Amino acid sequence: MNKNTKVAIVTGASRGIGASVAEALAVDGYITALTARSKDALTQLASRTKSSGAKAENVVVYPLDVQDHDAVQAMVADVHSKFGRIDLLFNNAGTGMIGTVDVSIEDFDKTLAINLRGAFSFLKTIVPIMKAQSSGTIINVASRAGKVGFAEYGVYGASKFALVGFSESLYHELSPLGIKVTALCPSWVDTDMAENSGLTKEEMISTADLVTTVRWLLSLSPAAVVKDLIIECRTSIN
């Protein structure tokens, strides 16, 4: 491994935003550690990245559930041991949920366990590594629903509002240490999670838009920091 090669961890990498960003990072030369629950989906993505031009040795697969903190710790430790650094956490794993007070306690707990506790698990494990490096970038994938409350999305919004707030605290704590933290808050993105949006494919944000956004964030100078970033669908602004 070239000592200048950067290392990224992408959670929720098996599909949607995570898969598109992971593939782009691998093609851009990052050593990219892919994690999601489905080993088969991750393996297929790893094959696609190689077909797109990524080096085979630059893509590693870690099937796990973000709710399992021990598994998260083991994965991060293995990546750090093998490659000696972690430059980017694309903290993307999440689940959708329709409902507010009408959801079950079990579904409420599961949504927060994945969308908030899962994100926290990676942050808790990776932030100390980035502090020791005095460098790194964290992109927490929240949602426009983490900035604006919507009817019938109370539980999902609660999980994303919490992630945005946590991300903002980290932004203030870590920016002076040379570690960038951004909460990425897109509206409806053209993925399977947007099947209830009521928008057409052409009216939604594409995963390619998110790839462009991530590449832009990573291209900024060390002096430029972005606390949060909302991306709207032009036809659904309210």
Active site annotation includes 156: yes
- Helix then strand count (H, E) for the chain reads 7, 7
pLDDT digits 0-9 by tens, 19-39? 999 999 999 999 999 999 999
pLDDT digits 0-9 by tens, 105-142? 999 999 999 999 999 999 999 999 999 999 999 999 99
- Say yes or no to pLDDT of 1 above 70: no
pLDDT digits 0-9 by tens, 217-226? 999 999 999 9
Which listed residue (62, 153, 156, 171) is catalytic?
Answer: 156
Of the ranges 65-79, 122-136, 206-220, 224-238, which one carries the lowest mean pLDDT score? 224-238
Where exactly are the structural domains of the chain? 7-236
Region 68-87: what's the mean pLDDT? 97
Closest CA to 196 of 96, 104, 101, 106: 96
Region 145-169: what's the mean pLDDT? 94
**Angle, vertex CA 117, rays to CA 212 and CA 196, nearest 5:** 55
**Angle, vertex CA 39, rays to CA 37 and CA 43, nearest 5:** 130
CATH architecture of 7-236: 3-Layer(aba) Sandwich (3.40)
Distance CA 149, CA 156 (A): 10
- Average per-residue pLDDT for the chain: 93
